[in-house]
Amino acid sequence: MKKIITCILFFVVTGILHAQIVDSIWVKANSLYASGDYREAITYYNMIEASGEVSADLFYNIGNAYFKQNIVSKAILYYERAIKLRPGDADISHNLALANAMTVDKIEAVPEFFVFTWIKNIRSGADTDTWAWLSIIFFTLGLLLFGLFLFAHHIALRKFSFFLSILILLGSINCGIFAYYQKKELHDTSAAIITPAVITVKSSPDTSGKDLFILHEGTKVTILETLGEWQCIKLADGKQGWILKFAAEII
C-alpha cells in the first residue's frame, strides 16, 4: 500500500512540476515575442511543443512568430496546425489567409457541389468535443421529449413532443457525425506544407524522372503515397507528382 501511495504522490508532484516548468517557459516565450525577439521566442515555444503540451494557442503564437520573420511556409504550417485544434477560430483563419496570400503558387481547387461546401463550413464551426457534447445533449433532450410523448395525456402535446423529439434526435445524429469527421481530420496525416523555397515535382519517384512542374514554399499538398524517400502528392487542382520527403512537412 505504501508503494502505491508513493507512486501516486510521485506522479502528482512530477505532473505539478512539469506544469510549472511549461508555464514558466510559456511566459518567457511570450515575453520574447512581445519584445520582438521572434527567433528566440520560437526556440522557447518549440520546447513546449517538444514536451507534448500542444494547443491551438501555442501553434498560433509560433505561426505569428514565423510570420513576423516572413517565413511564410512555417507560418502557414503552424496556422494550419492551430486551426485543426480550434476550427472556426476567426483570428487563426484571418492570419492563415494573410499568409496564404503571400505564397507564389495560386492553385484553384477543383469545384465541389455547393451542399458539400456548406456542410463542411458548418462542421468546421466547432471542434470534436463541442460536437460530441452537443450530440449527447440533443440525444438526452430527444429521449425526454419522447418520454413526454409516451406519457402525455393531451393529443396535441403528444404530437408536438413526438415530432420535436424526432427532429432533435436527428440533430443528435448529425452532431455525432460531425464529431466523427472532425476527429478524423484532427488525426489526419496526409495534409502537408511545402517548406523549401522551390521544389521540382517529378513524374516518378526518381531523380531521373520527368520534371512535371515546380512548387514554392507554403503550398498545401495531400500526400497520397510514400515510397522510400519519395512521396506522391496531390494538389487542390488535382495535379499529382513525386517529391522528396524532406520537402513537405506534415500539418
Query: pLDDT at position 10, please?
Result: 39
The helix or strand, by DSSP H or E, that contains position 222, with its residue range, turns out to be strand 220-227
CA distance to 31, 50, 65, 66, 214, per residue, from 38 (Å): 10, 18, 5, 7, 30
Query: pLDDT at position 7, please?
Result: 44
User: Cell numbers of 96, please?
Assistant: 492563415
Query: pLDDT at position 19, please?
Result: 66
- Between CA 201 and CA 107 the distance in angstroms is 15
Question: What phi and psi, each to the nearest 5 degrees, are found at residue 110?
Answer: -65, 125
Query: pLDDT at position 12, please?
Result: 42
One CATH from 3.40.50.1820, 2.30.30.40, 2.40.50.140, 3.30.70.120 for 191-250: 2.30.30.40
Contacts of 185 (CB under 8 A, 6+ apart): 84
Give the mean pLDDT of the chain. 88
DSSP string, 16-50: HHHHHHHHHHHHHHHHHHHTT-HHHHHHHHHHHHH
Spatial contact of 79 and 95, defined as CB atoms under 8 Å apart: yes
DSSP 204: S
- The whole-angstrom distance between residue 11's C-alpha and the CA centroid of its chain comes to 30
Query: pLDDT at position 6, please?
Result: 43
Dihedral angle at the C-alpha atoms of 220, 222, 223, 229, nearest 10 degrees?
-20
> What's the fold here for domain 2-101?
1.25.40
For the chain, residues with pLDDT lower than 70 are 1-19
User: Cell numbers of 40, please?
Assistant: 528566440
Amino acid letter, 142: G
pLDDT tens digits, residue range 70-124?
Answer: 999 999 999 999 999 998 899 999 999 999 999 998 888 777 777 888 888 888 8
Question: Residue 191: beta bridge partners?
Answer: 222
Percent with pLDDT over 70 in the chain: 92
